[in-house]
Amino acid sequence: MTQITPVILSGGSGTRLWPLSRKSYPKQFARLIGEESLFQSCARRLSGEGADGLRFTPPAIVTGADFRFIVTEQLQEVGVDPGPVVIEPEAKNTAPAVLAAALHAQAQDPEAVLLVAPSDHLIPDAAAFRAAVAQGMQAVTEGRLVTFGIRPDRPETGYGYLHLAQAPDGSGGPVPLEAFVEKPALAEAERMLADGAYRWNAGIFLFAAKDIVAAFDRHAPAIVAPVRAALEAAQHDLGFLRLAPGPWARLPDDSIDYAVMEKAEALSVVPFDGAWSDLGSWEAVLRETAPEAGGTATSGSALAIDCRNTLLRSEDPEVELVGIGLDGIFAVAMPDAVLVARLDRAQDVKQAVTALKARGARQAEAFAMDHRPWGHYETLALSDRFQVKRIVVKPGAALSLQSHHHRSEHWIVVAGTARVTVDGTVQLVTENQSIYVPLGSVHRMENPGKVPMVLIEVQTGSYLGEDDIIRYEDVYARGQGAKG
């Protein structure tokens, strides 16, 4: 049985799928297609052992601090126990993230073999992918770095390509790589499609930890020293491994392709003929969604009348999204934002996010619903001096012991029971009861029950920002700041 450690990269922001994907809760955690998130599907795909001779160890996750509890909660939902959850102090692209995971794995097992995969790709046939990984192990045992090449089914200009030394012979075995090819113009993409020796670059890699570390030493030494320092000074925090921010800040923003793979000599490609998508645009989502008659797909509270080649998604049951006579259009409705565009402009969604950030719109990066380790809240109303929230606290969970400089709060329990602490006084507050938290009071809210507790919070004051918080105790060790 061949043992492989998956490394799941889960720190991206997914702005091309705005407004469903935002910096505060990006696409890998959303249920874009099916009942699982892309992250959950990836974790399940890279778990367990099978007749193919592969045994996956618990996956190593590399993510950001804001997503650490989302990661563990989503893994728990699908029954996958994680290995190390490595927290990046800031996003520095894939090269530092992969090296940190490789160095950590090598310290635990000098012969560790890693399978590095983005968390936001769609690969419906998990068995076919595992078979491709098994094929790649032949090259790994020879000390080669392996990447996976997706068989193109169209002249795609949005992907990078891999130029194979020869066209695949159908055996599925590794093929030497001739060169990486940048995203091509349409005419070049058409030529490569017809050639047969070109594959899409999936950004999925298989190698021995010692071999990728050696490749970094040889081709990207400027990355190695800061990553080693960040790992050596890392802090363990509630089961997470926080890389040291000082050395990490010195790192360049660089992808593993540019830093190492395009310079490496011993590199092989495993051809993969199964279905695959990076779901990098709403056009890709339409392509992968089972279309209705006329090439139109709808989800949620959406209705298409006499439409063709159109995607309509309503992510709010209270928002009815109706399209009439549309062709080549996608529309996505959220509770706080609506996007409508032509499918041929799907790659330009980032422009909308940039423009919204420039005008200070909260919707550019954050949702009305904010996920926290204890549950979530959503803003129902917001004005200059008041805010109304709906707060849901998971069974057994507790908010931090805290106070505010600029606001008072009034809590009304509408479901379940809350254990409330205000200036040292503890009491139970049940459905239809309320409690007032004066400005400056030290307070905490807990759910002692076995069902979610729901309350309505009314804040009043001169400043209502999430950073107006002083934490005195917190079971999630978030420190100070809006999220910690």
- Could you tell me which residues are beta bridge partners of residue 4? 56
Task: Quote the pLDDT of residue 172.
Answer: 77
- Average pLDDT (456-466) is 93
DSSP string computed for 417-448 = -EEEEETTEEEEE-TT-EEEE-TT--EEEE--
Query: How would residue 484 be classed by pLDDT, with cut points 50, 70 and 90?
Result: very low
Task: Quote the pLDDT of residue 293.
Answer: 64
**Among residues of the chain, what percentage have pLDDT more than 70?**
99
- Average pLDDT (319-333) is 97
352-387 pLDDT per residue, tens: 999 999 999 999 998 888 888 999 999 999 898 999
- Could you tell me which residues are beta bridge partners of residue 304? 323
Q: Is the dihedral of CA 299, 305, 311, 316 positive or negative?
A: negative
Helix (H) / strand (E) element for 181: namely strand 175-181
Query: How would residue 483 be classed by pLDDT, with cut points 50, 70 and 90?
Result: low
Between 403 and 51, residue with greater pLDDT: 403
- Answer whether residue 479 shows pLDDT above 80: no
Task: Quote the pLDDT of residue 163.
Answer: 95
| Gap between the Cα atoms of 443 and 449, Å rounded | 19
- Average pLDDT (81-87) is 93
Query: How would residue 291 be classed by pLDDT, with cut points 50, 70 and 90?
Result: confident
Question: How is residue 122 annotated by DSSP?
Answer: B
| Gap between the Cα atoms of 100 and 79, Å rounded | 26
| Gap between the Cα atoms of 156 and 39, Å rounded | 25
195-241 pLDDT per residue, tens: 999 999 999 999 999 999 999 999 999 999 999 999 999 999 888 99
Instruction: Say whether pTM exceeds 0.85.
Output: yes
Assigned token pair, 21:
């994907």
User: What's the topology of domain 2-272?
Assistant: Spore Coat Polysaccharide Biosynthesis Protein SpsA; Chain A (3.90.550)
Task: Quote the pLDDT of residue 482.
Answer: 62
Least confident piece of the model among 40-44, 91-95, 167-171, 416-420: 167-171
| Gap between the Cα atoms of 182 and 322, Å rounded | 39
Instruction: Classify residue 199 as exposed, middle or buried by CB count within 10 Å of its CB (0-12, 13-18, 19+).
Output: buried
Assigned token pair, 121:
């790709």
Helix (H) / strand (E) element for 268: namely strand 267-272
Pairing of strands 338-342, 54-56: unpaired
Task: Quote the pLDDT of residue 59.
Answer: 96
468's CB contacts (< 8 A; 6+ apart) are 404, 405, 406, 407
Pair 415, 454: CB distance under 8 Å? yes
Query: In residues, how long is the chain?
Result: 484
Residue type at 93? N
DSSP string computed for 315-345 = --TT--EEEES-BSEEEEE-SS-EEEEEGGG
- Answer whether residue 448 shows pLDDT above 90: yes
- Answer whether residue 130 shows pLDDT above 80: yes
User: What's the topology of domain 369-473?
Assistant: Jelly Rolls (2.60.120)
291's CB contacts (< 8 A; 6+ apart) are 297
- Average pLDDT (317-342) is 96
Q: What are the domain boundaries of the chain?
A: 2-272, 282-346, 369-473
Instruction: Classify residue 296 as exposed, middle or buried by CB count within 10 Å of its CB (0-12, 13-18, 19+).
Output: buried
Task: Quote the pLDDT of residue 70.
Answer: 93
Task: Quote the pLDDT of residue 400.
Answer: 93
- Average pLDDT (428-443) is 95
| Gap between the Cα atoms of 93 and 96, Å rounded | 7
